[in-house]
Amino acid sequence: MEIKRITCRSAIEAAALKAWLEEANINCIIFDETNSKVARGLLDQTMDVMVKEEDLERANAIYKELLKANGN
């Protein structure tokens, strides 16, 4: 089983995506914020939501729905 990531623009967006994915019965976790910041630098506000490879296509579609719902 391979794990894939969806990169969100903020911790709030990542939390919202996690809630939407869980509502769709897609298991996911928000990648540890500290590890993300070390890899990307402290000024980067992005966060990763990790999903199974077989759920990635559905998860990306849900992420696009979330962005549309928020006017992005």
For the chain, which residues make up each domain, given as ranges? Answer: 3-69
Tens of pLDDT, residue by residue over 7-37, are: 998 888 999 999 999 999 999 999 865 555 5
Q: Is the pLDDT of residue 65 over 60?
A: yes
CB atoms under 10 Å from CB of 69, counted, come to 10
Report whether CATH 3.40.50.2300 matches the domain 3-69. no
Structure tokens at 10: 């903020």
- 32 DSSP 8-state letter: P
Per-residue pLDDT for 43 more than 90? no
